[in-house]
Structure 1
């Protein structure tokens, strides 16, 4: 079964797949027509192009690191709680190893989807906004 997180990540990836070629086409065309000495407006756009890539990378890296660290902490907490409940006999009818394994896999998958979504968000936001701005839809 496909989760809402998977659908959201797929939607964002599709939007980026649509926006990025538009932005690249616009900017490369602009570079080609600017020639050897670009005007002030072109220089500002070219500077913005580089600066936003550095900023998006930094934001993505930080967001993914923070989300991965939070996911690891949650997973360790869950695993320790489960381990102690089973080890101390806190469950009258303890789950099977397969049940624990499936639950851990679901948690791990959800955590990784969260990490990917956090990392994609700054890039997605900029790519879609640039496509709208450069195509005059803003």
Structure 2
């Protein structure tokens, strides 16, 4: 059976992936903006529009993921309280520590940014730069 990874290790891995993928994407897009100048081509405009819409989308996904995790955690805490007061009606489940809960929430929030940055890195590394 595979060993479960700690929340801090998961978050650390996600942040390393995000950092490694975002640096080349940022430099590639900045170069594209610089070479486009005052009159970007249709291809450049599509890429710039995609870039801005992805940022907004990732922010909404991030907030949604963190809110979803908070609701799940709230439900678990409520069930734990109910199990304390009515052990015959509810099964007690262990709650994560406050530190693990906070790290897991941060991990849920980082995941959309990481996914988009890695996908952009793959997509943009396949393209040949314009001359």
Q: How would you bin the TM-score normalised by the shorter chain?
A: 0.7 to 0.9
TM-score by length of structure 2 reads: 0.79
State the TM-score, normalizing by the size of structure 1: 0.75
1:79-132 C-alpha deviation (Å, 9 max, x unpaired): 4433x37xxxxxxxxxxxxxxxxx76x433332232112111111100011111
1:109 aligned to which of 99, 103, 119:
99
Using CA pairs under 8 Å that are at least 6 residues apart, name the structure with larger relative contact order, 1 or 2.
1
Q: Which runs of 4+ in 1 moved over 3 A?
A: none
Higher helix share: 1
In structure 1, C-alpha distance between the alignment counterparts of 2:76 and 2:54, rounded to whole Å: 32
Report how many aligned residue pairs link the two structures: 118
RMSD: 2.3
Q: Does structure 1 residue 118 correspond to structure 2 residue 120?
A: no
Structure 1 gaps of 5+ residues are: 86-102
Q: Partners in 1 of 2:56 and 2:117 — Cα distance?
A: 13
**Which residue is 2:91 aligned to?**
none
Equivalent residue number for residue 17 of structure 1: 19
After superposition, residues 1-138 of structure 1 pair within 5 angstroms as 3-82=5-84, 84=85, 106-136=96-126
Q: Greater Rg, structure 1 or structure 2?
A: 1
Structure 1 window deviating more from structure 2 (3-12 vs 49-58): it is: 3-12
In structure 2, the gaps of 5 or more residues are 87-93
